[in-house]
Amino acid sequence: MSDPALRLRAVPTISDVPAPFWDACANPGGMIASALPDGAMANEARTAHENSEAPLQVLKVSSQCDAGRKSAINAAYNPFVAHDYLSALEVSESAIAMTGWQPQHLLAEAADGTLLGAVPCYLKSHSRGEYVFDHGWAEAYERAGGNYYPKLQVSVPFTPATGPRLLVRPGPGAAAVRAALAAGLVALCQRREASSVHVTFVPKDDWRLLADRGFLQRTDQQFHWHNAGYDNFSAFLNALASRKRKTVRRERREALENGITVHWLTGTDLTEEIWDVFFAFYINTGSRKWGRPYLTRAFFSLIGETLRDRILLVMAKRAGRWIAGAINFIGSDALYGRHWGALEEHPFLHFELCYYQAIEFAIARGLTRVEAGAQGEHKLARGYVPATTYSAHYVADPALRRAIAEYLSRERAYVDAAGEELAALAPFRKTHV
């Protein structure tokens, strides 16, 4: 009997994919694949095929790829690749064609329509909201007479957090599906006449897989806090050098002067009234930083409905009035800090809400790390240490590819050297391991 064909196609909205089937690939540890209604996926897929364009590719893969119907393995949960999160970005009109993020999600399906893999992908007309900067590449290519846009962006819009990008249902054939998705991105690039494909904040294993398939490798630096089994915040402080410990205590004390109190809000605490308040913080601070914030008010209502137990708002109140707040997302092993905003300026309040309170929460929940967003060497003195991030880039034009490859070779060496230097400046006692 011949092996079944794996079909690759792109869909213009994540609403074309039922949430349980997407999440069986994105976060398989959060559900049991065998619990999906028998034949439901195939029926949904057949309906979708009736209104879809021709497949990008039809590849022969092992029949074992359909073994994803077995019970899912225990895997890390990443909130940003969940169907609920990506759908909220689209439904709220935060990430749509009008804002320069046209969904082009890549799907890998078995011959019977069973979804075996997916990639969150967008056709883009600009490079904003990505946190891996290629503006220089675009400008150089345009000066040389090329068209850098449109390009394909494989990421979670506006979210500089590492997580799975080649989403594959578990099973013996998962590696073959992952490889097919990588090939499918190149095919989609050709079909959409895009200049390039950019897979950002990708896990290191997939970074290497993509490199083996012709993608250029890029690295960058973030700062993450790691939980060394601390019982409480005091135990973490005890791991710091004396001078750094005193500085943290002073910053925390001064941040809460003027009668400021801090509150953790999650689950049913996240009312529409609270979202109104937080959105005012987001708009006020975001407008000063970016000119026009990326997320709409509707986005927060949607995630408040579907992901409320995966969200932590750290809010500050003074004289009975909310004055500042930070939003975090809760993964299976990490707390992800995303946005912060304030209506009043107070010394060190940003550090308290975004960094120190995040550490307190991670210790209380037993989470292994805190990822506090992009860049920020100021985080180092507060216990956040250098962490390398990875991205992979397929460039269609050979001349542009050569120029970028030379640049990235030098950039990777710089990132490595900078990481070593920064790690040596970590605030921990020399006896701390």
- Identify which of 352, 344, 318, 342 has the alpha carbon closest to the alpha carbon of residue 250: 352
Same domain, 204 and 257: no
Question: What is the helix (H) or strand (E) element at residue 129, kind and residue range?
Answer: none
Sheet containing 321-330: give its strands across: 101-103, 121-124, 151-154, 196-200, 385-395, 216-226, 369-374, 334-342, 321-330, 311-318, 261-265
Same domain, 120 and 82: yes
Same domain, 238 and 192: no
The DSSP 8-state label assigned to residue 295 in this structure reads S
pLDDT, tens digit, 9 for 90 and up, residues 164-185? 999 999 998 999 999 999 999 9
Is residue 81 assigned to a domain?
A: yes
The DSSP 8-state label assigned to residue 74 in this structure reads P
Is residue 203 assigned to a domain?
A: yes
pLDDT, tens digit, 9 for 90 and up, residues 321-358? 999 999 999 999 999 999 999 999 999 999 999 999 99
Is residue 348 assigned to a domain?
A: yes
Q: What is the Cα–Cα distance from 86 to 105, expressed in whole angstroms? A: 11
Is residue 124 assigned to a domain?
A: yes
Same domain, 55 and 177: yes
pLDDT of residue 68: 34
Same domain, 53 and 16: yes
Task: Give yes or no for a contact between 343 and 89, defined as CB atoms under 8 angstroms apart.
Answer: no
Same domain, 265 and 288: yes
Q: Which two tokens stand for residue 69?
A: 């119907």
- Identify which of 150, 119, 106 has the alpha carbon closest to the alpha carbon of residue 10: 106
- Count of domains forming the chain: 2
Give the distance between the most distant pair of CA atoms in the chain: 75
Q: What is the Cα–Cα distance from 234 to 218, expressed in whole angstroms? A: 38
Same domain, 109 and 167: yes
Collect all residues with Cβ–Cβ distance below 8 Å to 50 and sequence separation of at least 6.
none
Is residue 429 assigned to a domain?
A: no
Is residue 432 assigned to a domain?
A: no
Same domain, 208 and 248: no
Please state the φ and ψ torsions of residue 114, each to the nearest 5 degrees.
-65, 130
Whole-number CA gyration radius for the chain: 22
pLDDT of residue 3: 43
- Identify which of 272, 250, 190 has the alpha carbon closest to the alpha carbon of residue 381: 250
Same domain, 247 and 169: no
pLDDT, tens digit, 9 for 90 and up, residues 25-55? 999 976 543 344 444 444 554 444 444 566 7
| pTM of the predicted structure, to 2 decimals | 0.91
Residue 396 maps to which CATH number?
A: 3.40.630.30
pLDDT, tens digit, 9 for 90 and up, residues 142-168? 999 999 999 999 999 999 999 999 999
Domain membership of residue 314 as a residue range: 228-367
pLDDT, tens digit, 9 for 90 and up, residues 184-231? 999 999 999 999 999 999 999 999 999 999 999 999 999 999 999 999
Q: Which amino acid is at 54?
A: A
Q: Which amino acid is at 110?
A: A
Q: How confident is the model at residue 5 (pLDDT cuts 50, 70, 90)?
A: confident
Is residue 282 assigned to a domain?
A: yes
Is residue 375 assigned to a domain?
A: no
pLDDT, tens digit, 9 for 90 and up, residues 284-312? 987 666 567 899 999 999 999 999 999 99
Cα angle 124, 198, 5; round to 5: 100
Question: What is the helix (H) or strand (E) element at residue 160, kind and residue range?
Answer: none
